[in-house]
Amino acid sequence: MSVRISKLFGMDVYDSEAGYKGKVYDLIINLEKGKIETITTEPLKVKTKSDAKKILMEKSIPYRNVRSAKDIIIVSSRAIDPVEETPKEEPEESRYSSAYNKYRYGRR
């Protein structure tokens, strides 16, 4: 699923059981990973850190819960455990350098 970030602002957010969650006000982006982390349904322009924490705890949705984003955003109605990225094992042939493969398979 890919969509422009600018299109997400102001979109209505519903859960998978058609419950209204709010509108997208802010997005929190992890710049190192290049991924959206969180959607907030209230603006993060607050005066104190405690207000910001309250919004992040009560009025935000982890982006990993988003199931669809087209005209509206549909999120899972229940919390989803974070997916741990496990490195996939490479096939045995790709573990070796191409020079080794030429030697290994080209020899008769």
| 106 domain-assigned | no
Residue 6's pLDDT is what? 87
Could you give the dihedral angle defined by the CA atoms of residues 89, 92, 96 and 102, in that order, rounded to the nearest 10 degrees? -150
What is the length of the chain? 108
- Rounded distance between C-alpha atoms, residue 20 and residue 26, angstroms: 17
User: Which positions ≥6 away from 55 have C-beta within 8 Å?
Assistant: 40, 42, 44, 46
| 44 domain-assigned | yes
Q: Is the pLDDT of residue 95 over 70?
A: no
| 101 domain-assigned | no
| 26 domain-assigned | yes
Indicate whether this model's pTM tops 0.85: no
pLDDT digits (tens, 9 = 90+) for 53-87: 898 899 999 999 999 999 999 998 765 544 444 44
| 70 domain-assigned | yes
| 103 domain-assigned | no
| 85 domain-assigned | no
Residue 1's pLDDT is what? 63
Q: Would you give the DSSP letter of residue 7? A: H
Percent of the chain scoring above 70 in pLDDT: 69
Q: Is the pLDDT of residue 90 over 60?
A: no
Q: Is the pLDDT of residue 39 over 50?
A: yes
- Rounded distance between C-alpha atoms, residue 1 and residue 57, angstroms: 26
Domain membership of residue 26 as a residue range: 1-78
Residue 45's pLDDT is what? 86
Q: Is the pLDDT of residue 52 over 50?
A: yes
Confirm if 36 and 63 have CB atoms less than 8 A apart.
Answer: yes
The CATH number given to whatever domain includes residue 14 is: 2.30.30.240
* Total number of domains in the chain: 1
Structure tokens at 9: 């602002």
